[in-house]
Amino acid sequence: MESFRTDLLLIALIAMLAPMLAELPKNFRMPIVVAEILLGIIAGPQVLHLAEPSLVVDALAHLGLTFLIFQVGMEIDLGKIGKRPLAMGALGWALSFGVAILCVLLFQAMGLIRLPLLLAAAALTTTALGILVPILRDCGDIDTEFGKYVVASGAIGELGPMFLLSFLAIPNDSNVLHTLFVLSFVAITLAAAYLAIRVRSSKVVDRLARSMQRSGQFPVRICIALQALLILLAGKFGLDIVMGALASGMVVGLASKGPGGEALRSKLDAIGYGFLVPIFFVTAGIRFDLGALWASPLVPVQIIILLALLILVRSVSLFVYRRSLSPADAIPFILYSATGLPLIVVITEIALSAGLMSPERAAVLVSAGMISVLAFPILANKLRTKLGLPA
């Protein structure tokens, strides 16, 4: 118990320090996610030996994972993005995923990358929408045409891998039965989404908003209960918790649109980004196998290849956007779309727990993801500034 208290205190201190570290230096601000993972690596058994995940911390980290996916679902506002950007984003992601499959197969045959095929392809086609949205907002791009295409690509870049992860959990036998289960879960989620839209258009939201000032925090408890329910149903229907957490986040996002839902979103952000989500990323850093990065001379080559693949597979989607993006926007669009650490961490954590990936391979993949969120948005912003575009 004493060890748990010490580890929890250390993780809380790291979570407190991470936002300050992310602000320094001002001309090279790293995402908070990267700061949390880096500080976790330093505090963990690989460097200072100050912390090791206990059962209680692991449970909190697991809650942080589900809450991260829940908030990803809340951020995806399909109605605001528009049908055309979403359709183009879906087609672009599908092309990127197909190319990712071919590239991974090629490098597997060459012996340069040894990662599970579908998991590697999913990781290569993720986009860190939660990191990009604040960047685009600060640059003044969020409401521009360029920003809408980036957000649409990012939304599909989160939804596509999430759905893929969920369906990878379906056993090979009884496929017909599990297909029925999946359809049942989708039907339940759509029914919940319909009710969320109806509730949003009634006076119920205003009444619930007024209760946010009381100790009961009834709307927050409804959201937590909905998340737990859909996670449970996803598990019962043969899906992964990813699908349940994502679906519940999208339903809550629909219900909390508008001024009436701002207080609720603020409370959920405080629970997630202020408490549970940092525990997940710090714990991922503590578990990070730092020694794997120099265990083989091929590791730096593998990281460089993965970074190149992140850009290459996203470059294919430009075929879809060739008439919608200006030539000057093309490279920044690719760099933004190829930014993908949070879901890469999620994918590796799920793969590690399922025994589908070794810690060494996970470390290489996470390292590539960390470099992508550090370098790609900065390069994209510099390019748009240099070309005289809004940035």
Domain ranges of the chain: 2-386
CA distance 153 to 94: 11
- What pTM value is reported for the model? 0.77
State which residues of the chain have pLDDT below 70: 1-4, 25-29, 78-79, 134, 137-139, 166-179, 181, 200-212, 238-240, 259-260, 387-391
Cβ-proximal residues to 10 (8 Å cutoff; 6+ apart), any chain:
43, 50, 51
- Which H or E element spans position 354? none
64 and 278 Cβ atoms separated by less than 8 Å: yes
Instruction: Quickly count: other Cβ atoms within 10 Å of residue 5's Cβ.
Output: 11
Cβ-proximal residues to 74 (8 Å cutoff; 6+ apart), any chain:
249, 250, 252, 253, 256, 265, 268
CA distance 227 to 276: 14
Q: Where are the alpha helices (DSSP H) in the chain?
A: 2-22, 32-43, 55-75, 78-81, 83-110, 117-124, 129-139, 145-168, 175-200, 204-210, 218-236, 241-255, 262-271, 277-287, 298-315, 318-321, 327-337, 341-353, 359-386
CA distance 32 to 367: 15
79 and 148 Cβ atoms separated by less than 8 Å: no
Q: In whole angstroms, what separates CA 72 from the centre of its chain?
A: 6
CA dihedral for 32, 34, 37, 43, sign (positive or negative): negative
CA distance 26 to 30: 9
184-215 pLDDT tens trace = 777 878 788 777 777 766 666 666 666 667 77
Amino acid at 183: L
Cβ-proximal residues to 80 (8 Å cutoff; 6+ apart), any chain:
none
Torsion angle in degrees (nearest 10) through CA of 57, 365, 304, 113: 150
Instruction: Quickly count: other Cβ atoms within 10 Å of residue 109's Cβ.
Output: 9
Length of the chain: 391
Residue with tokens 């430009």: 318
pLDDT score for 83: 78
CA distance 59 to 42: 21
pLDDT score for 391: 47
Helix (H, G, I), strand (E, B) or coil at 158: helix
For residue 280 the two structure tokens come to: 């997940």
Torsion angle in degrees (nearest 10) through CA of 2, 6, 9, 13: 180
CA distance 283 to 7: 10
Closest CA to 229 of 211, 215, 243: 243
Q: How far is the first Cα of the chain from the last one, in angstroms, to the nearest whole number?
A: 50
- Domain 2-386 class in CATH: mainly alpha
